[in-house]
Structure 1
Amino acid sequence: MAEEYIDELEDSLDDIEPVGDGPQELYEHFRVVVDKGQSPVRIDKYLFERLVNSSRNRIQQAADAGYVMANGKPVKSNYKVKPLDVLTVMMDRPRYNNDIIPEEIPLDIVYEDDDLLVVNKPAGLVVHPGCGNYHGTLVNAIAWHLRDNPDYDPNDPAVGLVHRIDKDTSGLLVVAKTPDAKTHLGLQFYNKTTQRKYNALVWGLLDADNGTIEGNITRNPKDRLQMAVSTDPAIGKHAVTHYHVLERLGYVTFVECVLETGRTHQIRVHMKHIGHPLFNDERYGGNEILKGTHFSKYKQFVANCFETCPRQALHAKTLGFVHPRTGEQMFFTSELPDDMTLLLEKWRAYIGNREL
């Protein structure tokens, strides 16, 4: 894979002491391989976009202390990253030990063989252990499901999840049982040969029935928990989302989104960027009444809709890929979950009654 991407640096970069002259054991906390097409950019700026819990100032302090490295050698903050550079952040203490423990959590498995399994994830289930969610995740559930498989080690990064979706997004994910399967599937995601379609309900009426959103995605410098479309073409990761209108429902639109790339929060960020945040997407402002009337009955209707679907209205509906062993084209689809189905029914009834 051209890039191993970790969203969070678990240990803070506070209280950094410079690396001394004598021998000192350092521990890797973050690693990323720079994309082939990356233009030159300062390493502190590059890492700032990729580390959630760190400020640019703290990254600069870490570099000054000798903890930021390029290709195994310490570099300063003004070092310009180059394509395929291996960048690491080292610390003088090991990472928090968070072994994945099998936990008996129900799984909706839509397909399974010796090489992989495809899971339909419900909304509300965290995919992978991380900051504040070290147990009760999809990965823990998979570890339980495969607990009798001697070749599957849930703590081995060479197997397991091939891609991720957000906690409050429902839908399909593929899991590799073997290193060969993960390598093969991972390359398909990297080379954009997989087929992924999402269903989403967004605020407002889109002008055209079909469209493409293109814009680099980076960390929002004003809110580290958000992503944003960068105005600087040299910053962020290239992202492309295609959309098709499925149904127009007055003040909201039901759309199908096809991912050409797979960036963090991509659909949520791109739809907000064009002025159509996902319905009830709290992180990106979709949990406010963005379109409609000022009548109290309408406000109550929307409040009821928020209760019906208490998360961003986004579902990973289809997933297609080539089987890593047989070469067969695999394609899976999942029905809309009940909360989104009921949400659509509410809007259809509202629009139908309004037009009488």
Structure 2
Amino acid sequence: MPRSPEAEPLQVLYEDNHCLAVWKPARLLTTGDQTGDESLQDQVRDYLKHKYNKPGNVFVGLVHRLDRPVSGVVLFARTSKGAARLSEQFRVGSIVKVYHAIVEGRFETPAGELVNYLLKNHNTNVVQSVPRGTPGAKESRLRYQVLKSAGGLTRVEITPETGRSHQIRVQLAERGHPICGDGKYGSSRNLQGTIALHAARLTFDHPTRHEPLTVTAPEPAHWAQWFPGLC
């Protein structure tokens, strides 16, 4: 498969015999889709195949994903047992995910919890906040902490308590704080196919050692240029 224009050298954040955490740049798919573009999962498979001189197909278990315009840490399993155990942690919500975002506007309160009921249109891939009780809507909760504000923008740390599609993007936009670059949900800024949302930290129980493990991912280098005073 040809490498996409967005492809960057794979940056491994953590690796052992059971799992692998890597840095996903914005604009790169987590896993393949109908576009046929190269994905992070493809890169991980190639990395393992060449590093360990493995012939044939290499197992790379996808246990979660990030939206294409989002950057940050992505966790893969290297064994089927690891994939099953990590997937279960994501399913029950025991994994702690922490994001950083640059959003438009200033928050009235420096910290809090947001609760919405979200409904996804699978034809348009757009998620809407709808009244409670709407058929098909799912409760979505997150906690936020304002880190810094400057120039009409705010840097905020977000910890989702549920794992809904586009959850952070929609819940912040619903409060009048779209993520910079996220034109789908109301941002007026063009960030060249990226949005200012970064998966900064992931904490999970190791699938075989059963001890907590935290992996952190550096934020994109261009944030410091795009958002002076916030990075």
TM-score where L is the length of structure 2: 0.88
What letter is aligned with 1:180? Answer: K
Q: Please report how far the alpha carbon of residue 343 of structure 1 lies from its aligned counterpart in structure 2 after TM superposition.
A: 2.2
Question: In the alignment, is residue 224 of structure 1 matched against residue 224 of structure 2?
Answer: no
**Partner Cα separation in structure 2 for residue 348 and residue 115 of structure 1:** 37
Give CA-to-partner distance per residue, 1:181-201, whole Å, 9 cap, x none.
Answer: 011111111111111100001
- Equivalence for 2:165: 264
- Equivalence for 1:145: 47
User: Among residues 199, 222, 228, which one is paired with 1:339 in the alignment?
Assistant: 222
Q: Please report how far the alpha carbon of residue 287 of structure 1 lies from its aligned counterpart in structure 2 after TM superposition.
A: 2.6
- Equivalence for 1:294: none
SS at match of 2:179: coil
- Equivalence for 1:52: none
- Equivalence for 2:105: 204
CA gap 1:332/1:266 in 2 versus in 1, 3 angstroms: same
**Partner Cα separation in structure 2 for residue 330 and residue 151 of structure 1:** 31
The percentage of counterpart residues that share the same residue type is 31
Give CA-to-partner distance per residue, 1:266-309, whole Å, 9 cap, x none.
Answer: 11011111111101112112135xxxxxxxxxxxxxxxxx45x7
**Partner Cα separation in structure 1 for residue 56 and residue 38 of structure 2:** 23
Is the 2:120–2:128 contact (alpha carbons within 8 Å) kept by the matching residues of 1? yes
What letter is aligned with 1:326? Answer: R
Is the 2:98–2:158 contact (alpha carbons within 8 Å) kept by the matching residues of 1? yes
Q: Where does 1:85-234 land on structure 2 (aligned, <5 Å)?
A: 106-132=9-35, 134-147=36-49, 148-149=53-54, 153-154=58-59, 159-220=60-121, 224-233=124-133, 234=135
- Equivalence for 1:324: 207
Unaligned runs of 5+ in 1: 1-100, 289-305, 350-356
Structure (1/2) with the larger helix percentage: 1
**Partner Cα separation in structure 2 for residue 190 and residue 232 of structure 1:** 23
What letter is aligned with 1:284? Answer: Y
Give CA-to-partner distance per residue, 1:24-53, whole Å, 9 cap, x none.
Answer: xxxxxxxxxxxxxxxxxxxxxxxxxxxxxx
Higher RCO (CA < 8 A, seq sep 6+) = 2
Give CA-to-partner distance per residue, 1:77-129, whole Å, 9 cap, x none.
Answer: xxxxxxxxxxxxxxxxxxxxxxxx69796211111111010001111111111
TM-score where L is the length of structure 1: 0.58
What letter is aligned with 1:330? Answer: L
Is the 1:228–1:269 contact (alpha carbons within 8 Å) kept by the matching residues of 2? yes
What letter is aligned with 1:124? Answer: R
Q: Aligned residue pairs: how many?
A: 224
Is the 1:124–1:167 contact (alpha carbons within 8 Å) kept by the matching residues of 2? yes
Q: Please report how far the alpha carbon of residue 149 of structure 1 lies from its aligned counterpart in structure 2 after TM superposition.
A: 3.9
CA gap 1:231/1:325 in 2 versus in 1, 3 angstroms: same
Give CA-to-partner distance per residue, 1:175-225, whole Å, 9 cap, x none.
Answer: 00111101111111111111110000111111101111112222248x712
Is the 1:282–1:311 contact (alpha carbons within 8 Å) kept by the matching residues of 2? no
Unaligned runs of 5+ in 2: none
More divergent stretch after superposition (335-344 vs 207-216): 335-344
CA RMSD for the aligned pairs? 2.4
Q: Please report how far the alpha carbon of residue 311 of structure 1 lies from its aligned counterpart in structure 2 after TM superposition.
A: 2.0
Q: Where does 1:289-328 land on structure 2 (aligned, <5 Å)?
A: 306=190, 311-328=194-211
